[in-house]
Chain A
Amino acid sequence: MNFQIADFTRLIPEFLLLAIAAMVLLGDVLTRWSKGKEALNDRTEEAISMTLMGLGLAFVMVLIQGGFFSWMQFGDWKFYDFSIFQNLRSSGLDGSILGGAFVVDPLTHIGRLVFIGAAFVTVILTSKAKPSNNPAEFYALILFATLGMIFMTAGGELIMIYLGIELTSIPLYVLAGYFRRNPVSTEAGAKYYIFGALSSAILLFGMSLLLGLTLMNGQTMTTTPTSLRSVATAVELAFANPEGPSQGVAILALLFILAGMAYKVAIVPFHAWSPDVYQGAPTSMTAFISTASKTAGFFLLYRVLVTGFGAPSILGTAAIGTSTSFGGWTSLIAILAALTMLVGNLAALPQTNAKRMLAYSSIAQAGFLMLGLVGTQRDSGISLLMYLIAYTVTNLSAFGILALVEDAVGGTDFSNLNGLGRRAPGLALLLTVAILSLAGIPPLSGFFVKFYVFIAAWQEGAKWLVIFAVSNTVISLYYYLRFLKAVYFAPAETDEPIKVGFGPGIVMTAITLLIFGLGIVPTWLYGVLEQATIRIAAQ
């Protein structure tokens, strides 16, 4: 149970993020000796560069620790053949950190890379729409939220999962409502807060029921009663004895936990907050909330459902009309997926604000993502993780370009995008790639991952759901193509070119290359993701 010295090396990325956040805050306090516009600019620059350096360092550290460099070979010279790299790598994986509360497995490594990368891009995007005063707080909060997302992904125990969710949510509430003088931003923050706090309470009630269930088992003296493994045994026992009262408690707990998490990842019918928050929050923050936070929620959902509720007796099936019954949580997920897709797509059709439309599109994407959760076979897990990575990259690109356009034009309505093809051909091209990838056009990543989740869900027997999802893809084409109409065909009020900074331009180009890369050579992630799913299934 205790913290051991060996645990330290496994937590290096987290310690790094924490230390950098503290340094960003402290550095700002130490340089707060002069007033005026110039001093504020200096402080902002300082906070941004320190945050970027910290995130980059943590990213490289995760790459080394996860062994992602090990396949890099240049002739006879292997990249990782330094003893310090080997030491870091061998002390990176496994281990029972804090008595199993923090699980370091390939999924955790993938999560770290995704969140740290998303935070990096977000910080670069904020470089123009600068925070009003006390810039260090803004960047430290981003770092804290990143840390929380890693804890969400790595949580192998209920208390740690709850702490991770809160450590993610509380900074994000503040970031969404960061521009205090702007009534829209404060409104977004307040709505995010109310819904988030409510969902935390619901989730927590489910967790308390689960704790009761594991304690009732009595065999928990040796293991931590709140760990997901004890939860799994307790839930399985409860379902093995349908006469007793504990089966009802288990179902209730599962429903409460699903509802609480559905809020976090904006699944219908718990999606009402997300369009308002996405539209009202600063656009760079919207990019962060809609990608990293949602991905963290899905990683958590995946781990909790497969590890905690993965016993075959509670799985059920998403197939209709087979010999096995249509029941268990997989069929609930399938129905919610269908609803989420439909509502997200239909609500996106009449929108006039690009940010709000992308918010509804994110809801629809969550519906497609859930196709990877209707079963626990290996293909489902891999396709879910691959979709999550592609979704993060693509949505980050779409919202990021919107943020750059908003900085230059001053709004995110479709009319603000008019004539972008002439005013900024480069940005328009990048936006086109991102939008086409969201719509699922080959050879972009969005096409391949959609294809893959469809195959996985089909193998699980949810054929009706796959057919429904394919028809939904066609609906979604309509509103995605409205972007292209505004960008290339609508007449612009002015032909004045839009200037984009060097940093954001480079980063957006790199992300777009990643969208292409994931679509053309999707197999390069396969091995890592397969490892992650195997390890989750074995827990």
Chain B
Amino acid sequence: MVGSVPLVWVLTLAAGLFCIGLFGALSRRNIVGMLMGIELMLNSVNINLVAFWRYLQPTGTAGLVFAIFTIAVAAAEVAVGLAMVIAIYRARLTINADEIDTLKG
């Protein structure tokens, strides 16, 4: 199973996912869309971690533990983010980043 798919392919998938997420986070004007982009980036990190664990050190646990921490913290982070989106929607009735521009200069 490990032999049939080289590590480089998996890493390429993760890097591609990271780039897509980064593009989404930077180009989306909707805050929820940005959050989705950031989630893609975090998931590409998880793919990286698990792939490194599986291919390079399947007897250890470092990659797995790191991935579990990443998932848990990302969930906490997104919970705060969505709460913030709700707060900003209540204050302004929009979540379009272009219209949230009181502070500038």
Residues of A near any B CB (own CB < 8 A): 158-159, 162-163, 166, 170, 173-174, 177, 180-184, 186-191, 193-194, 197-198, 200-202, 204-205, 207-209, 211-212, 215-216, 220-221, 224-226, 275-276, 279-280, 351-353, 356
**A–B Cβ pairs within 8 angstroms, 8 of them:** A158-B66, A159-B65, A173-B84, A177-B87, A201-B41, A211-B62, A275-B105, A356-B105
Query: Do residues B84 and A189 form an inter-chain contact, with CB atoms below 8 A?
Result: yes
CB of B66 to closest CB in A, whole Å: 5
Query: Do residues B66 and A211 form an inter-chain contact, with CB atoms below 8 A?
Result: yes
CB of B22 to closest CB in A, whole Å: 8
Looking at A170, A188, A194, A208, the one whose CB has the most chain B CB atoms below 10 A away is A208
Q: Which residues of A contact B105 (CB under 8 A)?
A: 275, 351-353, 356
Residue of A nearest to B40 (CB): A201
Query: Do residues A204 and B80 form an inter-chain contact, with CB atoms below 8 A?
Result: no
Q: Which residues of A contact B52 (CB under 8 A)?
A: 208, 211-212, 215
B-side binding surface: helix, strand, loop or mixed?
helix
CB of B75 to closest CB in A, whole Å: 11
Minimum-distance CB pairs A-B, first 8: A201-B41, A215-B56, A208-B48, A212-B52, A276-B103, A183-B91, A225-B62, A204-B45
**Contact with A280, one of B44, B48, B77, B103 (Cβ below 8 angstroms):** B103
Query: Do residues A166 and B84 form an inter-chain contact, with CB atoms below 8 A?
Result: no
Query: Do residues A204 and B34 form an inter-chain contact, with CB atoms below 8 A?
Result: no
Query: Do residues B34 and A194 form an inter-chain contact, with CB atoms below 8 A?
Result: yes
Given A190-B100, A197-B81, A181 and B91 contact (CB-CB distance below 8 Å): yes
Query: Do residues B56 and A212 form an inter-chain contact, with CB atoms below 8 A?
Result: yes
**Contact with B66, one of A159, A177, A209, A221 (Cβ below 8 angstroms):** A159
Q: Which residues of A contact B25 (CB under 8 A)?
A: 194, 198, 201
Looking at B31, B69, B88, the one whose CB has the most chain A CB atoms below 10 A away is B88
Q: Which residues of A contact B80 (CB under 8 A)?
A: 170, 173-174, 193
Query: Do residues A188 and B66 form an inter-chain contact, with CB atoms below 8 A?
Result: no
- Cα A351 to Cα B103 in complex, Å, equals 12
- Cα A209 to Cα B18 in complex, Å, equals 13
User: Is B102 close to A, CB under 8 A?
Assistant: yes
Q: A162-B73, A166-B73, A190-B84 provided; 4 other pairs, C-beta below 8 A?
A: A174-B80, A177-B88, A180-B87, A212-B48
- Cα A223 to Cα B84 in complex, Å, equals 41
**Contact with B63, one of A177, A183, A211 (Cβ below 8 angstroms):** A211
Q: Which residues of A contact B6 (CB under 8 A)?
A: none
Given A163-B69, A205-B45, A184 and B103 contact (CB-CB distance below 8 Å): yes
CB of A208 to closest CB in B, whole Å: 4
Query: Do residues B91 and A215 form an inter-chain contact, with CB atoms below 8 A?
Result: no
Q: Which residues of B contact A173 (CB under 8 A)?
A: 80-81, 84
Q: Which residues of A contact B85 (CB under 8 A)?
A: 190
CB of B32 to closest CB in A, whole Å: 11
What does the 1/0 interface line of B31-72 toward A look like (CB < 8 Å)? 100110010011011001100110011001011011001100
Q: Which residues of A contact B48 (CB under 8 A)?
A: 205, 208-209, 211-212
